[in-house]
A = this chain, B = another copy of it.
């Protein structure tokens, strides 16, 4: 069912059908109605491929996201998609593994799609990826991370300050020996670690590598394993700061298995405030990123970038919020 079929049925040319479908110029009301009726009746929808060929835009923005995306990222892209739709853009997802091979495959796909813009939800490892983005002069927005040395717009929170606040919360409760459950790859891991150290330092506490565990990734499973390792070698811990909620959940599991109570024996803080935090038992104390505002802003920036409305378009650092629930308490006397 193509535009020509509709044209034939309506006894007009394809141009005319195109004009009514796209609401362009003058079309005699009578003919317009006839065509509209035919469109509705046949369920005709223009072929995107053909359309994008002549218009040289796809009205589609690509979202690149790790294939291991967590619930925070999942919610984030739903929000972004929603707002992008409001601006008239479709969304295409690209799930990529933390492997050069996967990233290059993703890059090929991106190129083939001829997208109008690209939103990166989290980083990639291969420099060629960013090089292409720069060279292509495509609209790009980095969401939840930044690469200040590259010239991309970025939407993010101050990771360092967030981690600092989380750690400080534990210190204020009276904790002195606070373990760190860190992640890998992504730059926020390093940034959150910096914040953890800063809080320690501000309180006059020494940073001790012996109570730091660096997990290979960010899953609950790795949080569980990391905490096991930590528990076996770091004695005297009364609290743990996990750099993501998933790591925290895994850590709590290990504590449960070891017969330790949270927050009775150990306090735990996470980061991100994924949905499930509020429904855990105990509820997880964590650092909330303003996910709705961030997603909205990301879509707005992208839309402005595509439209070439560069006034007022700039990177934004959002504030975070420490959400205190039940997984943190004063250390046992």
Q: Please count how many residues in chain A sit with their CB below 8 Å of the partner chain's CB atoms.
A: 44
A132 interface residue per 8 A CB criterion? yes
* CB of A298, distance to nearest CB on chain B (Å): 17
Given contacts A93-B93, A279-B253, A281-B253, contact A48 B113 (CB under 8 A): yes
Among B48, B132, B220, B279, the residue within 8 A (CB) of A49 is B48
Among B49, B58, B220, the residue within 8 A (CB) of A52 is B49
Among B95, B220, B249, the residue within 8 A (CB) of A81 is B95
B224 touches A252 (CB 8 A): no
Of A104-112, A175-183, A316-324, the stretch lying at the interface with chain B is A104-112
* CB of A267, distance to nearest CB on chain B (Å): 15
**Residues of chain B with a CB closer than 8 A to A255's CB:** 281
Docked CA distance A221–B277 (Å): 11
A45 interface residue per 8 A CB criterion? yes
A45 touches B279 (CB 8 A): no
Given contacts A95-B78, A220-B276, contact A108 B45 (CB under 8 A): yes
A74 interface residue per 8 A CB criterion? yes
Instruction: Produce 1/0 per residue, A272-300, CB < 8 A to B.
Output: 00011011111100000000000000000
**Residues of chain B with a CB closer than 8 A to A50's CB:** 49, 53
A256 interface residue per 8 A CB criterion? yes
A71 interface residue per 8 A CB criterion? yes
Docked CA distance A253–B277 (Å): 11
Docked CA distance A53–B50 (Å): 7
Given contacts A67-B78, A220-B276, contact A47 B112 (CB under 8 A): yes
Given contacts A220-B276, A253-B279, contact A112 B46 (CB under 8 A): yes
**Residues of chain B with a CB closer than 8 A to A47's CB:** 53, 112, 114
* CB of A131, distance to nearest CB on chain B (Å): 10
B95 touches A92 (CB 8 A): no
**Residues of chain B with a CB closer than 8 A to A78's CB:** 67, 95
A250 interface residue per 8 A CB criterion? yes
B90 touches A109 (CB 8 A): yes
* CB of A250, distance to nearest CB on chain B (Å): 6
B220 touches A48 (CB 8 A): no
**Residues of chain B with a CB closer than 8 A to A312's CB:** none
* CB of A311, distance to nearest CB on chain B (Å): 31
A275 touches B220 (CB 8 A): yes
B95 touches A43 (CB 8 A): no
**Residues of chain B with a CB closer than 8 A to A109's CB:** 90
Given A48-B113, A49-B114, A276-B276, 17 new contacts (CB under 8 A): A43-B111, A43-B132, A45-B112, A48-B49, A49-B50, A49-B52, A49-B58, A50-B53, A71-B71, A74-B74, A78-B95, A90-B109, A221-B279, A249-B276, A249-B280, A250-B279, A255-B281
Q: Contact residues of A with B, CB < 8 Å? A: 43, 45-50, 52-53, 58, 67, 71, 74, 78, 81, 90, 92-93, 95, 108-109, 111-114, 132, 220-221, 223-224, 249-250, 252-253, 255-256, 275-276, 278-283
